[in-house]
Structure 1
Amino acid sequence: MSTEHFDLFREASGNADRPIKVILFADLSGSTEMKGKLGEVAWLPTLGKFLDITSDAITGHGGTVVKYLGDGAMAAFDGEHAAEAICTGIQIQEMLRSAKAQGWLNDCVATVGIATGRVVEFKAPGGGLDYVGSVVDLAARLCGAAGPQAVWVDSATVASANMNKVSSELGRAHQRSPEDYLSDEWKVQLKGFAKPVKYREVVWHAKPFGPTNEVIGEITERSDRQGGRHADPHAAPAREGVVKRWDPDKGFGFIATVDHGDYYVNRRYIVGDEDLTVGRSVKFVPRPPLKEGAYPIAACTVQEGHRVRATFQRWVPANADFTFVDVCDHLGNRQSLYLSVKEDAADHRAGETALVVVDRNRKGLACRPADGAGDEGVGIDDRVA
């Protein structure tokens, strides 16, 4: 480091007038493994397409590409453009997903981390501006901790963002409100930070994508915002009830329970795309009402007989006849279901998905693999949905 940089950084450490920036990091997930699998000839075009998508999304929302970092990129936005940075992260993920679906990219998924605050701004050797500081480190760490396809933001970004500007393709299709795009606030222990850092995930698709396997154990308790959507499935026990009313045209209804009264439900809180049927049994995760005096919410609702997509939580040993899977509604609320497993469905990895049928056993509503009569064309899918 030159003397000029030494003096700059030393003075900046105590300077309260440093510029406020929104810093975004985007990085290819599992790039090392993909390089070995695809080889350089196939890998380089994939990397090039990823960088093109990332650069277009950044500049299209008013940000600046600060630099490329091997298999990723760093961007900066002015402090009042936190919402635009969030939209950039969403667009990167949507464009990668679309490119993969159209066969342009193979196994190309990314993680995005965003943080907001005061940074040290300096001129890079190439002539452009670069940034350092704890906010830059935080954005990079959030990017590294987020799971494939996830967009993680710190609490300062959420506080700065005009969430009315944030939207996604799936969110527009399901008419999500601004608050539906954010998970509950959680804390994660990140390398280089003495205390757990508050973060929230941007729910741009059907459900949150969560953390990488390596940092699952570093996720601590939810912050003060208790009882919201996209919450820990174990924070409130799931309950069973019966569909009391369902309006298929308006897409909402009510569920009756024996001991806890009635719950409100709409299509966003149903797992899958099927309508509810009056009189059928359901299992759901209870959530508080959206406003005082309203009905509590039946989130992550599954109905007996429905086929839904579920994610294996862990390895299924070959000699076991059951395991547990997670299901999610359109807002990312999730619950775990007991799954009866046949011999031909054993030994599946955590993260694999399958279509299952919600069924009743002696433990209550659970599920079974959707491989029986009338379940044509289903089975285990070894790619995370």
Structure 2
Amino acid sequence: MSTDHFTLFQEALRSTDRPTKVILFADLAGSTEMKGRSGEVGWLPTIGKFLDITTEATTKHGGEVVKYLGDGTLAAFDGENAAEAICSAIHIQEELREVNSQGVVNDCLATVGIATGRVVEYKAPGGGIDYVGSVVDLAARLCSAAAPQAIWVDSATVASANMNKVSSKMGRVHDYSPDDYLSEEWRVELKGFTKPVKYREVIWHGKPFGATNALVDEISERTTAQTNHQTPPRPDVREGVVRKWDPEQGRGFISTLSDGDYYLDRRHVVGGEDLIEGRSVRFVPRPPFKDGGRPVASCAIQEGQHVRATFQRVLAHKGYGFVDIRDALGNQQSLFLYLGDDAAGHRPGDVVTVEASRNHRGISARIADELQTTGGVDDAR
């Protein structure tokens, strides 16, 4: 006898006894392009490996695979197991990173979205249990908005998760605290949801991976079109090592592991200082000056450098904030700044002298010589 879904869902809408579930949606990033580049012999094994990894990670952490959606996996965890769902997502990303590095598969990257709430549970035609509802849709939308290797979780998941249970390989090496596993809270507009959705990214490998390029472009266009003064998206940043620096010419090169060398001249160094070969640098990437040239590093700051900075945001209840720095040409980036109990004494616009220092997140800032002045970013150059 076939399932009467119309009646089933009508009754579910009237019911107050819907179960609370943590829904995880994992999708193979770039699968359409991958299929276009090679025949089935090339992409079928990759999808198979991806499905194996998502299944193993789900069951290991106490969840159940609800169904496979082509090159995606929908999994469910009991409502009190939000931390286990996050651990499952981390397991997926770590395993994929490992098999890619070993050459077992190539470019097999996933996006993961997790949402928590009441769902409609029903018996699918195949006999298994399935789930529908806005929570399922939200997990899928978060997954589709996230960049490859990112894990996005909604605010309900964060609120219900025991973050003391969350762990990753890098977190264990660098002794992450529970708070270190979550980015600050952001809002994103998602298709099918009338209001912006609050979410956080799970920091499982040192830094956030962010949003898809399409979403970033959409946000950028929307921000440009608005007439109010909302804060624009923050620029992308890179880290590298000074490979060569000529103090007489005031220029050199920064090497990165991900995308080769960047050209840099003194105008793009915050404070206009000479760089030290072999020292780590954080910078904002720019396109080459001419076709065929090397990409350019702007707003560069090297580890150990002291610069003037302006508070952009202070989260006093969390003990940290963000400061803006600029180079001589106006290129800008933000640095994380831990403040501890002193956070309540700072306000956006305050100017401080900071030292670029390294922690498990990469190059951040610490106060070197606080100045009790206020003003805009131009004062901090």
Shared fold, TM over 0.5: yes
Q: In the alignment, what sits opposite 1:318? A: 290
More helix by share: 2
- Separation in structure 2 between the aligned mates of residue 102 and residue 327 of structure 1, nearest angstrom: 34
Letter of the structure 1 residue corresponding to residue 185 of structure 2: E
CA contact (8 A) 1:326 1:334 kept: no
- Structure 1 segment 219-238 matched on structure 2, within 5 A: none
Aligned residues: 267
TM normalised by structure 1 equals 0.62
- Separation in structure 2 between the aligned mates of residue 61 and residue 196 of structure 1, nearest angstrom: 30
What secondary structure does 2:44 align onto? Answer: helix
Residue 50 (structure 2) pairs with residue 50 (structure 1): yes
CA contact (8 A) 1:120 1:133 kept: yes
Q: In the alignment, what sits opposite 2:63? A: 63
CA deviation digits over 1:193-240, x for unaligned, max 9? Answer: 00100000000001000000111234999xxxxxxxxxx757xxxxxx
CA deviation digits over 1:63-89, x for unaligned, max 9? Answer: 000000011100000000000000000
- Separation in structure 1 between the aligned mates of residue 211 and residue 73 of structure 2, nearest angstrom: 20
Q: Which runs of 5+ in 1 are unaligned?
A: 222-231, 235-281, 285-302, 341-364, 367-385
- Structure 1 segment 359-370 matched on structure 2, within 5 A: none
- Change over 3 Å in CA distance of 1:149–1:22 after alignment to 2: same
- Separation in structure 2 between the aligned mates of residue 87 and residue 59 of structure 1, nearest angstrom: 11
- Change over 3 Å in CA distance of 1:311–1:110 after alignment to 2: farther
Q: Which runs of 5+ in 2 are unaligned?
A: 224-232, 236-268, 304-319, 330-354, 357-381
Q: In the alignment, what sits opposite 1:253? A: none
Q: In the alignment, what sits opposite 1:76? A: 76
CA contact (8 A) 1:326 1:336 kept: no
- Change over 3 Å in CA distance of 1:147–1:334 after alignment to 2: farther
Q: Percent identity?
A: 63
- Separation in structure 1 between the aligned mates of residue 287 and residue 129 of structure 2, nearest angstrom: 47
CA contact (8 A) 1:233 1:334 kept: no
**How far does residue 335 in structure 1 lie from its aligned partner after superposition?**
7.5
- Structure 1 segment 251-270 matched on structure 2, within 5 A: none
Q: In the alignment, what sits opposite 2:113? A: 113
Q: CA RMSD in A?
A: 3.6
Q: In the alignment, what sits opposite 1:146? A: 146
- Change over 3 Å in CA distance of 1:166–1:143 after alignment to 2: same
Moved over 4 A (4+): 309-314, 319-323, 325-329, 333-340
- Separation in structure 2 between the aligned mates of residue 45 and residue 171 of structure 1, nearest angstrom: 31
Q: In the alignment, what sits opposite 1:275? A: none
- Change over 3 Å in CA distance of 1:167–1:46 after alignment to 2: same
- Change over 3 Å in CA distance of 1:8–1:54 after alignment to 2: same
What secondary structure does 2:77 align onto? Answer: strand
- Structure 1 segment 192-271 matched on structure 2, within 5 A: 192-216=192-216, 217-218=218-219
**How far does residue 324 in structure 1 lie from its aligned partner after superposition?**
3.6
CA contact (8 A) 2:289 2:296 kept: no
- Separation in structure 1 between the aligned mates of residue 323 and residue 70 of structure 2, nearest angstrom: 35
Residue 38 (structure 2) pairs with residue 38 (structure 1): yes
Q: In the alignment, what sits opposite 2:173? A: 173
What secondary structure does 1:13 align onto? Answer: helix
